Structure 1
Amino acid sequence: MTDAQSFYGRWAQVYDWVANAPGVASWRDRAADSLALAPGDTVVEMGCGTGANVPRLRERVAPAGRVVGIDVTQKMLDRARERSARTGESVHYVQADAARPPIREADAVLATFVAGIFEDPAAAVDAWCDSVGTGGRVALLNFQRSPSVLAAPLNLVFEGFVRLSAPGTRLSTRSHASAFERRVRAARDRLTERTVDRRYETMAGGFAGLLSGTVP
């Protein structure tokens, strides 16, 4: 079992609560909207966790579409399957490494709050772009420090949150947050290189950023 599997397996229940905290729902709606899904589409969520995005994705591809959730941690997927709103004939969960997804020719890919945990986020984004056909959309939703001067105290909270919510604890809080931000930046840079018709927006006073684009 990898460090990530062990970490997220232990914290699956807490992660599920955070993933559905007040206010986060609107971010997830905007992320789903950014994919421009249509009925009958196949949408893949990379690092789906406990399936918090699945109901939104399923609604947008119904009645004949398909939602595939990929996550490396079995306990996360088990918790997703416990929720009736996150299951159904059109929903499929696969235990696999989201950085090397076993799927091709999807219509869209969504990755929320996961780009910062990969050792090579650019390679992961390459794999996600390769997973969709021409004209498919890929969207990344991530936490970040807010650029607002007024948000400086809350940026310290962000550093602590990153430290507690991701595997690996050898780095200091500040260096851990910096490493997380470098990975998110690398993922966004690669998505920018690989896509056209891009859109970037921020939420929650700048603490969440959503980048989406179309694979040509």
Structure 2
Amino acid sequence: MATDATTAAQQFYGRWADFYDLLARATPGLGRLRARAADALALDPGDTVVEMGCGTGANFPHLRERVGPEGRVVGVDFTQGMLARARDRIEREGWRNVHCVRADATDVEFREAPDAVLATFVVGMLADPEAAVNRWADLLAPGGRLALLDAAQTPRWFGWPVNRAFRGLVVASSPSGVEAYEAAPWTVLDERVAAARRALRERADETTHTEHALGVVRITGGRIG
């Protein structure tokens, strides 16, 4: 049963799906970051990869390129508006091995264990990102890989002006607004992103980590034994 927060998020992201799709395609450098996140999964041709919170499908080209026509890409999202645009993308490109599922990324089940899971700008929106990461790790086939691409405030010495701009973006992209958070939403985001990465490092046999965009964007990948 959907909570008020879940319903609000679905409505918000459904309403802004076209704008999010435009940002995903037009933001300079974002395509390279998505490609790096796909690389962190170390995918092989024929693999099955699941994207949690796939949105409008901006990662699909990068994932499909790596698994090839014999592999499978499955996108999971709970917002109908986002999925409609993702399915339009699939149909437009003629991808027969890319599929979308409307489901809660923290509660989805699969008949077969995937080889890899990707979550892009997702864990910061989850109330319990640590539990989500552990659940995704449990879904994977032995030796599968999990990668997280997220943004949070930069800890670098020049961070003040960068973080001020980032905070404005966080508020603008929040479905609930500032008043819904007990702490500043950018602080909540920082804590959730950090918690997700801790959980991944604890579960993984080996991890990789890179930082981009002045330290705001982080990509962490790990192999789950």
Which TM bucket (shorter chain)?
over 0.9
* Conserved 8 A contact 2:24-2:30: yes
Shift of 1:64: 0.6
Instruction: Pick one of 78, 96, 102 that aligns with 1:89.
Output: 96
After superposition, the CA RMSD in angstroms is: 1.6
The range that moved more, 168-177 or 31-40, is 168-177
Structure 2 residue aligned with 1:36: 42
Structure 2 residue aligned with 1:209: 218
- The 3-state SS of whatever aligns with 1:102 is coil
Amino acid across the alignment from 1:4 = A
Matched, 1:16 2:21: yes
Shift of 1:172: 7.1
Matched, 1:58 2:64: yes
The range that moved more, 168-177 or 35-44, is 168-177
Deviations 1:22-81 (A, max 9, x none): 110110010000100001000000000000000110110012100000000011010112
Where structure 2 has 5 or more consecutive residues not aligned to the other structure, the ranges are none
2: CA distance, partners of 1:206 / 1:120: 24
1: CA distance, partners of 2:93 / 2:34: 14
- The 3-state SS of whatever aligns with 2:23 is helix
Shift of 1:207: 1.1
Instruction: Pick one of 186, 192, 196 that aligns with 1:177.
Output: 186
1: CA distance, partners of 2:153 / 2:17: 25
Shift of 1:213: 0.3
When normalised by structure 1's length, the TM-score is 0.95
Structure 2 residue aligned with 1:101: 108
Indicate how the Cα distance of structure 1 residues 86 and 200 shifts in structure 2: closer, same or farther if over 3 A, else same.
farther
Shift of 1:114: 0.6
Deviations 1:163-204 (A, max 9, x none): 111221124797111011111111111111111110010011
Shift of 1:151: 3.2
1: CA distance, partners of 2:152 / 2:124: 10
2: CA distance, partners of 1:180 / 1:212: 19
The range that moved more, 25-34 or 145-154, is 145-154
Amino acid across the alignment from 1:182 = E
The range that moved more, 30-39 or 158-167, is 158-167
Superposed counterparts of 1:161-176, under 5 Å: 161-169=169-177, 170-171=179-180, 175-176=184-185
- Give percent identity, aligned residues only: 49
Amino acid across the alignment from 2:57 = G
Indicate how the Cα distance of structure 1 residues 122 and 189 shifts in structure 2: closer, same or farther if over 3 A, else same.
same
Deviations 1:125-158 (A, max 9, x none): 1111111111000000100112222232121111
**How many residue pairs align between the two structures?**
216
When normalised by structure 2's length, the TM-score is 0.91
Amino acid across the alignment from 2:59 = N
Where structure 1 has 5 or more consecutive residues not aligned to the other structure, the ranges are none
Structure 2 residue aligned with 1:150: 158
Structure 1 residue aligned with 2:205: 196
Superposed counterparts of 1:115-154, under 5 Å: 115-154=123-162
Moved segments of 4+, more than 4 Å = 84-87, 171-174
